[in-house]
Structure 1
């Protein structure tokens, strides 16, 4: 993982006899095939289109800022959650990725850029908690000293709010970060925006989140995409403040990243600022996500199943 060996033969710190034995046994190592790599014209963001062994494709994003290099990796090909404002959700679900395909995205990016990763987030395509075992296996490889040696607190997974998975994650020993896609603190609106996630009402979701923070001592990030006329009105703001009161959470406000063919528009900057100011005045930790990779459709909610268009 750290030396980015592309084959067993390249692992020259292993004896020749052992390498031959591994190859004879059918073992192999290798990164995913990069079909396309794009570099943003407005920031240092890179987006990758990878081809899996079965021909399916996934996307990953490398975000760099100062000394930090964060990989946003996919955990599924497609997604079954069907969130109405998200490009991935419009593609439908294809299959779960295995841990090797998740860390293979990291190996591909590292070989392409010769850059060491400092952070990794399971915020690409797919619902990580719907692929729990393989996602945790990948995070542990990212974390392991003989893996990518990334500190657990620099590894985060994002979920649409699968309650059973949140409760299960609370029992794990590692200090991985958890982000929950909220997007509305009003049940009927959340059900419209996130139809599959609405299996759990907000009271049930909040209870699971509180139990998680009580057991782990770690705060949860609540992701809130601001969509004009949908979840950015005063009633939405009051409901959000009420939902967040009294427990360990941090609200990350995300101005909607536009997706072609979807009906939604991003909230006005004045609405984003009002939400931020009111949350702060209510004593609720908050931040406004800085947009990166928008010119590549590489920002939050813009990843999808793609094919390379060749002339």
Structure 2
């Protein structure tokens, strides 16, 4: 096996909006610092995602110091002063996690509502926010689905795209899967399934569970439009996971065990492997 390296790093300041590629990122207990610290909610506080609002993919949010900069094609940019604390509102994720979010500027709510053509509110995690993940290594997360990190590999995408093309479809880009970290150098697709513990310089990362995919990978991340049925159709032909309720998987969810800085090009060292054909995660739920 050739040397594994960090091929790409991406963070998502607002859950469900466009990803921001970076050359270097700080990894903390809840993942990439600043990742999914913000979230869009409907009037009753329920989170919004590309599952039901695919147009979110075409909206971009970038952190610039104490400002969140919102942009979208054909719309004026909006700089939103970040409210780290203040007015709070009840929020929820998947009807499984219920907590509080710090309401942000009303101008941001208006800008986002205009773009998405529905009433939405922008919230940020509270200063005391603490939300554990689950799996072999639990870790924590902000407003992520359930884990700190999503890790994929170029080999896995190449293997998937080969199958898609053989079925008469078009290859898809990695951004459909919205990873935080992409690995190069692994020759076998889905090597990430077997990584129990790995290190990138001082940063240690532990396997949590396989990433079960929803409808989001069928959304074109540039236009915010659904382009199904791929990759879900092809993944369903060889990546069904009976121990996860029959969903299809691509990538691994992971926890940050030791914090530090990660840079594109850094070498990845795997310290412990999961035995082939096994997966300890489902037993931890």
Scaled to the shorter chain, the TM-score interval is: under 0.3
Q: How high is the TM-score relative to the length of structure 1?
A: 0.26
Structure scoring higher RCO (CA < 8 A, sep ≥ 6) equals 2
Q: How high is the TM-score relative to the length of structure 2?
A: 0.28
Which protein has the larger Cα radius of gyration, Structure 1 or Structure 2? Answer: 1
Which structure has greater strand proportion?
A: 2
Which structure has greater helix proportion?
A: 1
